[in-house]
């Protein structure tokens, strides 16, 4: 245990000078000063811990941080350095071991007291450089101290172990200054996994996945948050499917079928959930990927999106302003289709409807509803429960649009580029 504190002393400056509370731009550069390397950890490790510390803030805000090794010093937004006693031309002198671990200047620089025993996140000894860096970056971005349990912005250093993360209050505080993450998705879907616990009992878990370009997020519905460390490349989490630009993911689930398909362009892939990879061929030796027109006759390609309606045992395929309802038992599009999206999914409020070119449509097991995504907005489709409560709703009524970021929090892009010397 340590009695140390990391002290912020920029509040006073801020009060007097009337300085802005937050950075006006969304991309900020940082550099670990050459004259300010720590004597305790290898240089590469210092930089990787700082990179992770910045990344933790960018996982919950629209901010991105770029390590700048090349540009003139004056253009770097946040300069970081280690020093002992009198250091780096700073007016504030460090105090040796204990007490002050680091300090930060509002919208400016961060200094670490190199008399402390800083350690990487994997260590249970000493003072976690990651934790101190995340706290100080919080100050630089404009956050004051708080006494809320669990917050990284508490004035006292409380060791949290290697798995520490920003808690709810930290996320909300920084989003007050910089807003929350907005953006469109290529596809979103629930993925159901049957798992056995340590007593051998089978449980069913479902998480929501969001795909954007070549990245994906796992959304933990129970905790209403993305998984720590997301997004990660599609390439590393999903094997044998295209690494970017997936149009739709569909889970056909009947009493005799349990099949998952990925759609992109004019092709589709079948995914083996147990072995966690796409099948290269079926049990008859016929290969994947296949043409959509072959496996799903009557369905156009490329698609905008698709989802499976388990109750009706139909896949709804979307393209432009049209919907194709595909009967999975008879392997054909229902004869009355295609229809206009506005006909199959009518608006409850006139004019408030995505109309055409959906990004994604999916059935959420957590919310027991279908959601239509377009841009940074969603429209929820009335469920049976809604219809029982409001008897006048036609089937598949579409409620007015809402921001995606108001329902699924912190689905944020993370950029970790480094500008290095040529």
Instruction: Report the interface residues with Zn ion, using CB under 5 A.
Output: 6, 8, 90, 92, 111
For the bound state, the minimum distance from the C-beta of residue 71 to Zn ion, rounded and expressed in Å, comes to 22
Question: How far is residue 380's CA from residue 367's CA, in Å, rounded to a whole number?
Answer: 10
Q: Which of 136, 201, 259, 281 is catalytic?
A: 136
Residue (111 or 264) nearer to Zn ion, CB: 111
The H or E element spanning position 268 is strand 267-272
Residue (6 or 64) nearer to Zn ion, CB: 6
Q: Nearest-CA neighbor of 411 among 220, 213, 231?
A: 231
For the bound state, the minimum distance from the C-beta of residue 5 to Zn ion, rounded and expressed in Å, comes to 8
Question: How far is residue 373's CA from residue 380's CA, in Å, rounded to a whole number?
Answer: 9
Cis bond upstream, residue 302 (ω within 30): yes
Q: Nearest-CA neighbor of 62 among 104, 22, 19, 21?
A: 22
Q: Nearest-CA neighbor of 80 among 126, 136, 26?
A: 136
For the bound state, the minimum distance from the C-beta of residue 63 to Zn ion, rounded and expressed in Å, comes to 19
Contact (Cβ atoms closer than 8 angstroms) between residue 179 and residue 196: no
Residue (155 or 406) nearer to Zn ion, CB: 155
Residue (83 or 242) nearer to Zn ion, CB: 83
Q: Nearest-CA neighbor of 73 among 23, 99, 109, 40?
A: 109
Contact (Cβ atoms closer than 8 angstroms) between residue 63 and residue 57: yes
In three-state secondary structure terms, 64 is strand
For the bound state, the minimum distance from the C-beta of residue 103 to Zn ion, rounded and expressed in Å, comes to 5
Residue with smallest beta-carbon separation from Zn ion: 90
Contact (Cβ atoms closer than 8 angstroms) between residue 52 and residue 129: no
Residue (90 or 177) nearer to Zn ion, CB: 90
For the bound state, the minimum distance from the C-beta of residue 169 to Zn ion, rounded and expressed in Å, comes to 15
- With a CB cutoff of 8 Å and minimum separation 6, the contacts of 263 are 246, 247, 248, 249, 250, 292, 301, 303, 306
Residue (68 or 136) nearer to Zn ion, CB: 136
For 265: left if phi > 0, alpha if psi spans -120 to 50, otherwise beta; the answer is: left
Q: Enumerate the β-bridge partners of residue 381.
A: 370, 398
For the bound state, the minimum distance from the C-beta of residue 54 to Zn ion, rounded and expressed in Å, comes to 17
HEC string of 229-260? CCCEEHHHHCCCCCCCCCCEEEEEECCCCEEE
For the bound state, the minimum distance from the C-beta of residue 105 to Zn ion, rounded and expressed in Å, comes to 8
Residue (112 or 215) nearer to Zn ion, CB: 112
Q: Enumerate the β-bridge partners of residue 267.
A: 264, 291
Does the annotation mark 136 as catalytic? yes
Residue (145 or 251) nearer to Zn ion, CB: 145
Q: Nearest-CA neighbor of 63 among 164, 173, 177, 169?
A: 177
Cα pseudo-dihedral 160, 163, 169, 172, rounded to 10: 150
Contact (Cβ atoms closer than 8 angstroms) between residue 405 and residue 413: no
For the bound state, the minimum distance from the C-beta of residue 90 to Zn ion, rounded and expressed in Å, comes to 3
Active site residues: 136
């Amino acid at each position: 245990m340590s009695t140390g504190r990391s002290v912020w002393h920029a509040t006073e400056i801020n009060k007097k000078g009337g300085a802005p509370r937050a950075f006006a731009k969304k991309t900020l550069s940082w550099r670990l000063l050459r004259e300010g390397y720590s004597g305790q950890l290898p240089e590469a490790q210092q930089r990787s811990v700082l990179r992770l510390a910045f990344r933790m803030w960018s996982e919950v805000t629209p901010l991105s941080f770029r390590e700048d090794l090349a540009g003139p010093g004056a253009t770097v937004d946040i300069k970081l350095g280690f020093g002992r006693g009198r250091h780096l031309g700073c007016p504030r002198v460090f105090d040796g071991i204990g007490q002050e671990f680091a300090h930060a200047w509002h919208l400016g620089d961060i200094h670490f007291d190199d008399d402390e025993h800083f350690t990487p996140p994997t260590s249970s000894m000493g003072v976690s450089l990651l934790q101190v860096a995340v706290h100080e970056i919080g100050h630089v971005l404009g956050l004051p101290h708080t006494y809320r349990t669990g917050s990284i912005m508490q004035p006292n250093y409380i060791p949290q172990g290697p798995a520490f993360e920003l808690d709810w209050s930290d996320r909300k505080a920084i989003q007050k200054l910089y807003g929350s993450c907005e953006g469109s998705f290529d596809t979103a879907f629930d993925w159901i996994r049957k798992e056995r616990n340590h007593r051998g009992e089978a449980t069913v878990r479902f998480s929501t996945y969001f795909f954007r370009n070549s990245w994906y997020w796992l959304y933990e519905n129970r905790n209403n948050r993305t998984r720590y460390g997301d997004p990660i490349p599609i390439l590393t989490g999903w094997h044998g499917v295209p690494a970017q630009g997936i149009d739709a993911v569909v889970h056909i689930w009947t009493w005799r079928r349990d099949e998952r398909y990925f759609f992109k362009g004019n092709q589709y892939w079948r995914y083996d959930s147990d072995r966690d990879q796409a099948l290269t061929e079926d049990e008859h030796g016929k290969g994947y990927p296949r043409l959509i027109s072959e496996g799903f006759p009557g369905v156009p390609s490329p698609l905008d999106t698709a989802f499976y309606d388990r109750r009706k045992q139909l896949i709804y395929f979307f393209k432009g302003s049209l919907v194709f309802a595909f009967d999975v038992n008879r392997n054909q599009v229902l004869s009355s289709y295609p229809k206009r999206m506005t006909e199959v999914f009518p608006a409850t409020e006139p004019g408030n409807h995505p109309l055409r070119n959906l990004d994604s449509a999916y059935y959420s097991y957590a919310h027991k509803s279908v959601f239509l995504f377009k841009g940074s907005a969603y429209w929820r489709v009335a469920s049976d429960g809604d219809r029982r409560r409001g008897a006048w709703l036609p089937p598949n009524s579409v409620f007015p649009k809402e921001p995606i970021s108001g329902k699924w929090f912190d689905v944020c892009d993370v950029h970790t580029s480094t500008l290095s010397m040529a």
